[in-house]
Amino acid sequence: MSAITRADVNDAATRIAPFVDRTPVLHLDALDDWIGAETFVKAEHMQRIGAFKLRGATNAVQSLSDVEAERGVAAHSSGNHAAALALAARTRGIPAYVVMPQATPAMKRDAVDGYGAHITWCDNTLDARRSALAALLAETGATEIHPYDDPRVIAGAGTAALELLEDVGGVDVIVTPIGGGGLCSGTCIAAAPMRVIGGQPVDRSATIADGLRTGTSPRTEQILSDHGVDRVAVPEQKIEAAMRAVWGCTRQLIEPSAAVAFAAARMSNLAGLRVAIISSGANTTMRR
């Protein structure tokens, strides 16, 4: 596996700048009180498509050669990566092929369809998703863009932390959620040697934080280990409490996966520190 460097993140930032939003950093006294520390929120839940995933997908798509791009890009995903890849492909004017399980919520189906992706439906198992994607890749010759186990995606994800540190000085620690580990890995690389905390659900298989149900890959696990990421296991009731607290403090709706980072920050005894949280997404509903 080739190493991903700060230079790769810098290059990604230049590459994606015309296509993604530079999201704001929020600072509210009420949130400081709830977290127990001075807190700055990189609001990736306000990103186009409502999630940080657009950064990595765009960097990967814009990195393709013209020959590769002509054949399109593909992935299996039931969530934010599907929408991000679809929009990144549409922006470059190339096809996107997305395998989605039948159980995908209507809101996410509509988003991916709206960005013009070619959707293949499959059964609600990981094996079915992988099999359908393999068939698509063989049929189309498209390039697979993995949601986190891809150096271009990791470097793109790291640009959120890069912007954050340009906008806010003197940060002591950055907190992110951990699912596949792409966002946290990119953050580690962009912010090194700064302390990074990663929040993850206690039970990945049944958590409300559906964007974090996957596990890390050998690549992302190595990066997290090399950078000494502190991992905080967050129970379900604290995820739900964090969603309510962020809404109450900021009037910002965040998805459960993003709430895991807020809960991890509150659980980590960070009093006296300047804490940055990367709020990963907002693709949920008030009913949820």
Q: What is the pLDDT of residues 164-204, one digit of tens each?
A: 999 998 999 999 999 999 999 999 999 999 999 999 999 88
Nearest to 97 by CA among 85, 88, 108: 85
The predicted pLDDT at position 285 comes to 60
On average, the pLDDT of the chain sits at: 94
Is residue 228 classed exposed, middle or buried when 0-12, 13-18 and 19+ CB atoms within 10 A define those classes?
exposed
Predicted local confidence at residue 286, as pLDDT: 59
Say yes or no to pLDDT of 78 above 80.
no
Could you read off the pLDDT of 220-279 as tens digits, one per residue? 999 999 999 999 999 999 999 999 999 999 999 999 999 999 999 999 999 999 999 999
Which H or E element spans position 19? none
Q: What is the mean pLDDT of residues 151-174?
A: 97
Give tens-digit pLDDT for 209-228.
888 888 899 999 999 999 99
pLDDT at residue 75 in the model? 95
Q: How would residue 287 be classed by pLDDT, with cut points 50, 70 and 90? A: low
Report whether 148 contacts 51 (CB < 8 A).
no
pLDDT band, residue 288 (cuts 50/70/90): low
Q: Average pLDDT for residues 139-164, to the nearest whole number?
A: 97
What is 54-144's CATH topology? Answer: Rossmann fold (3.40.50)
Does the pLDDT of residue 206 top 90, yes or no? no
Going by DSSP bridges, is the β-strand pair 118-122/195-201 parallel, antiparallel, or unpaired?
unpaired
Residue percentage of the chain with pLDDT more than 90: 82
* Number of C-beta neighbours around residue 14 at 10 A: 10
Largest Cα–Cα distance in the chain?
56
CA 15 to the chain's CA centroid: 18
Counting residues of the chain whose pLDDT is more than 70, the rounded percentage is 98
Residue that the structure tokens 């922006």 belong to: 91
Q: pLDDT for 7-64, tens place per residue?
A: 999 999 999 999 999 999 999 999 999 999 999 999 999 999 999 999 999 999 999 9
Same topology for domains 6-52+150-279 and 54-144, yes or no? yes
Distance CA 51, CA 43 (A): 9
Q: Report residue 277 as tokens.
A: 């949280």
Domain 6-52+150-279 = CATH 3.40.50.1100: yes
Summarize the confidence of residues 136-150 as an average pLDDT: 96
- Tell me the domain boundaries of the chain: 6-52+150-279, 54-144
Write the CB contacts of 202 (distance below 8 Å, at least 6 apart in sequence). 233, 234, 235, 236
